[in-house]
Amino acid sequence: MACAVLAAAGMAAQAVGPAYAASGRVTTAVDNGVTLVTPTRVLDTSVGRGANGPIPVHGAVTVQVEGVAGVPASNVYAVVLTVTVTRPTSPGYLSVYPDWATPGGTSSMNFAVGQSVASTVITPVNPNGRAVFYNGSSGTIQLAVDITGYTASVVGLAGPGGLENGAHNRILDTRTGLGAAGPVAGHGTLHLNVAGLYPMAAVSMVLLTLTATGARAPGYLTAYPDGTARPATSNLNFAAGQRVADTVLVPLGPDGLLDLYNGSTAPVQMIVDMSAYVPFGTVTGSGGLIPLTPTRLLDTGTSVGSPGPVAGHGSIHLVVLGHGGVPASGVRAVIMTLTVTHPSAAGFVSAAAGGGPASTTPAVVFAAGQTTANLVIVPVGPDGSVLLSNASAGPTQLIADVTGYITSG
């Protein structure tokens, strides 16, 4: 296996300040902070693990996610999952939600016929510790679910750095005029009021599912705090006519707005489903989510961080501590958008702590020639690096944009 040890390139970024005046609340242990576990597959319908597939048209499967795979048996607020859809026979979407809720027309990920897609999903669980996976298509799908982490439950609202439920509400659909009328013009920017939609006194960042649809030309979307310079990074990429979604963890601007930039030459429709937010405040405990101005640490296509492409079954050790605004210590994991581009063969890229074995859980799944992105939360190894592995037979270019980190205390 080819392997290179690299120091990340790029200018250091500063943590984004409060979206509103800080509430003065200080915590010594992060309420609803994120704890990572060894990725464990709890559902694979293609082999009958957890449920037999395929999942039928508009069908759903309920999965126990509390008390398994290193997740405690009680007092769990939400789980962090890697969800992979394969062999869809019709275009559609997957919605993930606790089983006390009902499908509300929101999506956690989208797929085309025959397309394999992986996405990081953070979803609350019900008191029985279960989550529901709904196939919102007119065809069948196979589904795999890996548990990668959880947040503990607390009484009342989450503290600074923790995740608070955003009720999985759709807050933007430019197709219908919800939030703003679309489509958004080529190289246009939409200013979305997020904080004003919720009773948030102090918000650091929000967790969203961002969807692009109806694209007339290839391009990308970038989400960033209003009132700041647009970063030279992307959150998702799309082809003409493609409907694609990705999880986005993005800070808000001082005015409570976030900006959505259409990096295409042609108009595109945008959809935003909100699933959680992070209260602002002083984080002094472990498990707290800290936002950063997105910074590109790796782009093998332009030799940022490493020359490419990454060889088939090759890997990169990317040093992240002390780079892109990530502190040199006190960091348990980094939050990154990983993008695969120009792959010569189908496969997936995995992400794991540096110094250990490669993960078998897909972080980004792709077909030959397909540009695909996904948000990932990756533990940091003792040497301050993460291991990015190309589990396909052919070379591919790889991009990594750091957007935040999780504290270790």
> Strand order of the sheet with strand 3-7?
3-7, 315-319, 385-390, 347-353, 364-366
Residue 196 has a pLDDT of 64
Residue 344 has a pLDDT of 96
CATH topology identical between 34-152 and 160-280: yes
Among residues of the chain, what percentage have pLDDT more than 70? 86
| 8 A C-beta contact, residue 230 and residue 261 | yes
Residue 24 has a pLDDT of 28
CA–CA separation, 364 and 251 (whole Å):
23
Residue 359 has pLDDT above 90, yes or no: yes
**Higher pLDDT among residues 249 and 204, named by residue:** 249
Residue 119 has pLDDT above 50, yes or no: yes
Interval 72-92 mean pLDDT: 91
Among residues of the chain, what percentage have pLDDT more than 90? 55
Given the structure tokens 């996405």, which residue do they identify?
Answer: 119
Tell me the sheet residues that pair with 144.
Answer: 44, 84
3-class SS string, the chain: CCEEEEECCCCCCCECCCCCCCCCCEECCCCCCEEEEEEEEEEECCCCECCCCCECCCCEEEEECCCCCCCCCCCEEEEEEEEEEECCCCCEEEEEEECCCCCCCCCCEEECCCCCEEEEEEEECCCCCEEEEEEEECCCEEEEEEEEEEEECCCCCCCCCCCEEEEEEEEEECCCCECCCCCECCCCEEEEECHHHCCCCCEEEEEEEEEEECCCCCEEEEEEECCCCCCCCCCEEECCCCCEEEEEEEECCCCCEEEEEECCCCCEEEEEEEEEEEECCEECCEEEEEEEEEEEEEECCCCECCCCCECCCCEEEEECCCCCCCCCCCEEEEEEEEEEECCCCCEEEEEEECCCCCCCCCCEEECCCCCEEEEEEEECCCCCEEEEEECCCCCEEEEEEEEEEEEEC
With cut-offs at 50, 70 and 90, classify the pLDDT of residue 351: very high
Given the structure tokens 């209260």, which residue do they identify?
Answer: 279
Question: Which tokens sit at 126?
Answer: 């019900």
* Per-residue pLDDT tens digits for 296-335: 999 999 999 888 899 999 999 999 999 999 999 999 999 9
What class, spelled out in words, does domain 160-280 have in CATH?
A: mainly beta
Q: CATH topology for 34-152? A: Jelly Rolls (2.60.120)
Mean per-residue pLDDT over the chain, rounded: 84
Going from N- to C-terminal start, the domains of the chain cover 3-15+285-408, 34-152, 160-280
Interval 378-398 mean pLDDT: 96
